């Protein structure tokens, strides 16, 4: 859980951040980084025990973190999540939409309807609806910001995860559309597209040393990424340092191909 080196900047003092799917991988690293920079961070995940364990671990290090269980595909649970965050910390300045699923792999032409439905429901629909739920609170806070977590695979969806990758392509468009709508209302909207980061979610891509080496070779830096590197990019985008940045997707992939 520890970062590579101590974080000394405190760009997010007094801010409240809501981070979904934040008990492992990139979401956990993001929650940790935002809290280290001074934010009060509210996290969620589907399993209450994972949330409780993560909150306890981060609070034991002096970070201001709370959270609750939430399945982002449930309207009732999304509403309860936002209400719990606001009740705990008084508002929301930052929303990091990180939750995603990939329930199946294989050729697009053979992808079952139920797999398509679940990917679209969680990776796109729930992301839009969570923004709708949080937006009244974001609009009350000067300098409010939204970040979607996409993927470098969004630019060139590969088999066998093409359906998942296409859902991440949609987030690039969602970022542009919402940024145009919400910019005049004072809310910035950006996106991060991580490269291959060894986490539980991406385990299939790096499950053997040979596969991991193949993935590393696709980067210009010849190595895989770390969750903390994605978290640093997200922290920049939600900070005052990015006050004139909106509608952008920041690719953090070690130089992998990233053009539509």
Domain of 86, CATH number, reads 3.40.50.720
- What span, in angstroms and rounded, lies between the C-alpha atoms of 42 and 46? 14
Under 8 Å between Cβ of 7 and 33: yes
- What span, in angstroms and rounded, lies between the C-alpha atoms of 90 and 2? 28
* Residue 164 to residues 117, 151, 251, Cα–Cα distance (Å): 11, 10, 17
pLDDT at 212: 79
In a domain, 6, yes or no: no
Under 8 Å between Cβ of 166 and 111: no
In a domain, 92, yes or no: yes
pLDDT at 259: 81
In which domain, by residue range, is 44 found?
A: 16-251
In a domain, 185, yes or no: yes
Q: CB burial class (10 A; 0-12, 13-18, 19+) of residue 229?
A: middle
**Size of the chain in residues:** 260
Choosing from 42, 164, 236, 244, the catalytic residue is 164
Total count of domains within the chain: 1
Residue 7 pLDDT exceeds 90:
no
- Best CA proximity match to 14, nearest among 29, 44, 35, 31: 35
In a domain, 9, yes or no: no
Among left, alpha and beta (phi > 0; psi -120 to 50; other), residue 99 is: beta
Summarize the confidence of residues 202-227 as an average pLDDT: 82
pLDDT category of residue 67 using cuts at 50, 70 and 90: very high
Summarize the confidence of residues 222-241 as an average pLDDT: 96
In a domain, 1, yes or no: no
In a domain, 217, yes or no: yes
Q: How many CB atoms lie within 10 A of CB 237?
A: 23
- Does 164 qualify as catalytic in the annotation? yes
- What span, in angstroms and rounded, lies between the C-alpha atoms of 209 and 98? 27
Residue 215 pLDDT exceeds 90:
no
pLDDT at 169: 98
pLDDT category of residue 3 using cuts at 50, 70 and 90: very low
Residue 184 pLDDT exceeds 70:
yes
Under 8 Å between Cβ of 68 and 48: yes
The dihedrals phi and psi of 176, each to the nearest 5 degrees, come to -60, -45
pLDDT at 2: 47
In a domain, 113, yes or no: yes
In a domain, 169, yes or no: yes
Average pLDDT, the chain: 94
Pull the structure tokens for residue 203. Answer: 């385990």
pLDDT at 124: 98
């Amino acid at each position: 859980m520890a970062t590579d080196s101590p974080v000394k900047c405190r760009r997010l003092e007094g801010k409240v951040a809501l981070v979904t799917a934040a008990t492992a991988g990139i979401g956990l690293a993001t929650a940790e980084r935002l809290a280290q920079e001074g934010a009060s961070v509210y996290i969620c995940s589907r399993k209450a025990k994972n949330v409780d364990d993560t909150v306890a671990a981060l609070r034991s290090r002096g970070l201001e973190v709370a959270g609750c269980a939430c399945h982002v595909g449930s309207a009732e649970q999304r509403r309860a999540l936002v209400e719990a965050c606001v009740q705990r910390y008084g508002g929301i300045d930052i929303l990091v939409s990180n939750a995603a699923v990939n329930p199946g792999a294989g050729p697009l032409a053979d992808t079952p309807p139920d797999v398509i439905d679940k990917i679209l429901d969680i990776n796109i629909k729930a992301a839009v609806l969570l923004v709708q739920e949080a937006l009244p609170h974001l609009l009350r806070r000067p300098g409010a910001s939204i970040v979607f977590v996409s993927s470098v695979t969004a630019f060139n969806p590969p088999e066998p995860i093409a359906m998942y990758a296409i859902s991440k392509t949609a987030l690039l468009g969602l970022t542009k559309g919402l940024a145009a709508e919400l910019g005049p209302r004072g809310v910035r909207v950006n996106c991060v597209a991580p490269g291959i980061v060894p986490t539980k979610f991406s385990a299939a891509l790096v499950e053997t040393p040979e596969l991991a080496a193949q993935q590393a070779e696709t980067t210009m830096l010849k190595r895989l990424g770390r969750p903390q590197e994605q978290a640093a990019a997200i922290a920049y985008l939600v900070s005052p340092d990015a006050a004139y940045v909106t509608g952008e997707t920041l690719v953090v992939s070690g130089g992998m191909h990233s053009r539509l």
